[in-house]
Amino acid sequence: MPSVFRFVTRRDGGILRDGERMRAPYGLEIIESCLICPHREDRLFCNLPPAVLQGLAAITSPAAYPKGATLFVEGQPSRGVFILCGGRVKLSTSSADGKSLIVRIAETGEVLGLPATVTGKAYELTAEVIEPTQANFIARQDFLVFLRQHGEAALRVAQQLGETYHSAIAEMRTIGLSHSAGEKLARFLLDLSEDRGDAKGEIRVRLTLTHEEIAQMIGTSRETVTRLFADFKKRELLQVKGSTLIIKNKAGLERVLSS
């Protein structure tokens, strides 16, 4: 099982492990407290008044995880939530025969395990770390007490649950209403590049997912994704350089949706 680093924060702000100050593991810039989080201004749950953040920090246990670590597993009784302070996490579900579907990739600032923690049901997804990540844990009972005490935080939780619902609908639309695998991949790439560049210029986005993972996100096979990427490259719709995806013809990808 992948290792995990947990921290105890001194009153003077130093991070301790076994009584000694330590360097951040896995190359992460560890965020020691919600009060000094650099993502407070642009993240739904993190951007709360200082008094509320103090209460949040008091019940939060910071931890860092390597790539491949699992935060929780589908069907596991809910233990609490994980605040994603850095890195990215793959959220997926599986069928009885072992087929996997990646629902989405969680980004910095999100709260993972929220629906299960609020309802008291089992986790509905599996959360797997896909790059070195800081994910701070809050136990379920502590989190529920915190929400009862802070109405604004409870409202933010309701807002994120709403966003999760809309994301699920968008995913269903991509998989269920697309007529072909090519249309599914084109829609996935357009969603990935949303709000970047324009229809005339090149758009560059970081793509760290494998063809297998993309296939699991759009409900097709790895071989089909590889074939479609080759076809899109041949048609000069896109180019891949390492982990950089270059969309050379956004309008051309959009035409794939209507073909």
Q: Which tens digit of pLDDT belongs to each residue from 20-68?
A: 334 556 565 656 655 556 555 556 566 778 888 888 889 999 889 999 9
pLDDT at 162: 87
Please check whether residues 161 and 209 belong to one and the same domain. Answer: no
Please check whether residues 162 and 199 belong to one and the same domain. Answer: no
Q: Which tens digit of pLDDT belongs to each residue from 74-126?
A: 999 999 999 998 888 999 998 777 778 888 888 888 899 999 999 999 999 99
Please check whether residues 134 and 114 belong to one and the same domain. Answer: yes
Please check whether residues 154 and 204 belong to one and the same domain. Answer: no
Choice between 70 and 202, residue whose per-residue pLDDT is larger: 70
Please check whether residues 245 and 139 belong to one and the same domain. Answer: no
CATH of residue 212: 1.10.10.10
CATH of residue 113: 2.60.120.10
Which of 126, 143, 175 represents a domain boundary (last residue)?
175
Which of 120, 140, 175 represents a domain boundary (last residue)?
175
Which domain range does residue 159 map to? 5-175
Confidence category of residue 17, pLDDT binned at 50, 70, 90: very low
Choice between 199 and 73, residue whose per-residue pLDDT is larger: 73
Of 5-9, 30-34, 133-137, 216-220, the least confident: 5-9
Please check whether residues 36 and 51 belong to one and the same domain. Answer: yes
For range 212-239, the mean pLDDT: 91
pLDDT at 149: 94
Q: Whole-prediction pTM value?
A: 0.70
Please check whether residues 120 and 171 belong to one and the same domain. Answer: yes
Number of domains in the chain: 2
Please check whether residues 200 and 163 belong to one and the same domain. Answer: no
Rg of the chain, C-alpha, whole Å: 20
Choice between 167 and 33, residue whose per-residue pLDDT is larger: 167
pLDDT at 127: 96
Please check whether residues 29 and 120 belong to one and the same domain. Answer: yes
**pLDDT above 90 (res 3):** no
In angstroms, the Cα distances linking 141 to 51, 81, 178, 241 are 20, 10, 42, 46
Q: Show Cβ contacts of residue 231 under 8 Å, excluding neighbours closer than 6 positions.
A: 182
Please check whether residues 162 and 202 belong to one and the same domain. Answer: no
Which of 144, 175, 206 represents a domain boundary (last residue)?
175
Please check whether residues 106 and 19 belong to one and the same domain. Answer: yes
For range 141-156, the mean pLDDT: 93
Question: Quick check: 185 and 228 in contact, CB under 8 A?
Answer: yes
pLDDT at 192: 80
Choice between 245 and 4, residue whose per-residue pLDDT is larger: 245
Please check whether residues 161 and 191 belong to one and the same domain. Answer: no
Confidence category of residue 10, pLDDT binned at 50, 70, 90: very low
**pLDDT above 90 (res 69):** yes
